[in-house]
Amino acid sequence: MSISFYKYQGTGNDFIMINNRESVFPHDVQLIARLCNRRTGIGADGLILIENHPSLDFDMVYFNADGSQSLCGNGSRCAVNFAKFLGVIQDTTEFNTIDGQYAAEVKDGIVHLSMKDQVLPEQFEDHYFLNNGSPHHIIFVEKAETAPVVKQGATIRYSQAYQPNGTNVNFVEIINQHEVFVRTYERGVEDETLSCGTGITASCLASADKGLMSPIDVQSKGGRLQVQFERNNGGFTNIKLIGPAEQVFEGSINI
Ligand SMILES: N[C@H](CCC[C@H](N)C(=O)O)C(=O)O
C-alpha cells in the first residue's frame, strides 16, 4: 500500500509526518525505525502521525527514530504547521500528545508552543535534571562547540543512574543574560540532534537558576529558537517554545 508523507524540520530536528486520520499507517515500531534510518529509509530523528481525537483538534503520535515514544517539542511545532497545511486548524490549536493536552499558535509561520508549568529543575553537584515531558540531564559548559556530546552524552544516557529508561543529555553554554547555546544527545535517536525542543526549554529553565531572564534566545546547531517563561515562587509558568517549522519535501512509501 502506498502512503504519502511529508518531511518537516524544526531547527534541524527532522521528522517524517503522516496524515493518519484515516488510520491507514500502523503503529509498527520496526517499520518506523526502518523509515527513520538515514541509510536504508527516508531518514529522520522521528516519525509523527496526525490522528483524530475525540475532543481536541488532533492527536500527535510521536516516535523517536528507534520507535520509542516520548514528548517532542520540535515535533509538536512541526505537527502544528503540518496540521495547518492540512487545513485541520487555522492559527491556534489545542492538541493531544503522550504528555497530555498542549496548545500552540502560529504567527507568520513561526510556531509558539505553550509548554506545561514546571517546578525548578533538580540541582546536583555537576548538573541539573528536569522532566518536562521528556527527561533532560543538563550540564553547563564553557564551550558547547567543543563538548564531547556523543561520547559523554551516551555515557550518561546509558549510566546506571538513568536505568532503565535513559535520558536526553544537554550541554549548555551561557552567551549572555538573554542567550544560550545548547547541544543535545537525544535518547531514542542515540546521537546528537541539531536541536531538541524539550531539551532547549529545560536548559533555559535551568539557566534561570544562573540568573538568565526571559526571553532567552537559543542558538542550536540547527537554527535559533526563543524560550519565554514567568518565574513564580515554586517554578515556572507561561512557558513558550518559539521557532520555525518547515516543510522540506513530499513523498510516498510502499508499506
Ligand atoms: N528524544 C526525546 C524525545 C524527542 C525530544 C526532542 N526531539 C524535542 O524536540 O523535544 C526522548 O526520547 O526523550
ipTM: 0.94
Q: Which domain, by its residues, includes 31?
A: 2-113+245-254
At residue 27, what are phi and psi to the nearest 5 degrees?
A: -80, 65
Q: 34 and 49: one domain?
A: yes
**Ligand 1 binding pocket mutation candidate from 72, 167, 183, 239 (most atoms within 8 A of CB):** 72
- CA dist list (Å): 223 to 13, 84, 194, 238, 244: 10, 22, 8, 23, 9
Displacement of CA 8 from its chain's centroid (Å): 13
**Ligand 1 binding pocket mutation candidate from 66, 111, 156, 198 (most atoms within 8 A of CB):** 198
- The CATH number assigned to the domain holding 227 equals 3.10.310.10
Q: 232 and 250: one domain?
A: no
**Domain total in the chain:** 2
Amino acid at 28: D
Cα(17) to centroid of ligand 1, in Å? 15
Positive or negative torsion for Cα 144, 146, 152, 157: positive
Mean pLDDT per 10-residue run, the chain (255 residues)?
A: 96 98 97 97 98 98 98 98 98 98 98 98 98 98 98 98 98 98 98 98 97 97 98 93 98 93
Our answer to whether residue 36 is catalytic in this structure is no
Cα(11) to centroid of ligand 1, in Å? 13
Q: According to the model, what pLDDT value does residue 207 have?
A: 98
238 annotated binding-site participant: no
Q: 28 and 108: one domain?
A: yes
Q: 70 and 167: one domain?
A: no
Q: 100 and 140: one domain?
A: no
Q: 99 and 122: one domain?
A: no
Question: Is the pTM higher than 0.90?
Answer: yes
Structure letter (DSSP) for residue 234: T
Q: 153 and 168: one domain?
A: yes
CB-based contact 85:94 (threshold 8 Å)? no
Q: 92 and 175: one domain?
A: no
Q: 122 and 157: one domain?
A: yes
Burial environment of residue 33 by CB neighbours within 10 A (0 to 12, 13 to 18, 19 or more): middle
DSSP string, 53-90: -SSSS-EEEEEETTS-----HHHHHHHHHHHHHHTS-S
Q: According to the model, what pLDDT value does residue 234 have?
A: 87
73 annotated binding-site participant: yes
Q: 67 and 130: one domain?
A: no
74 annotated binding-site participant: yes
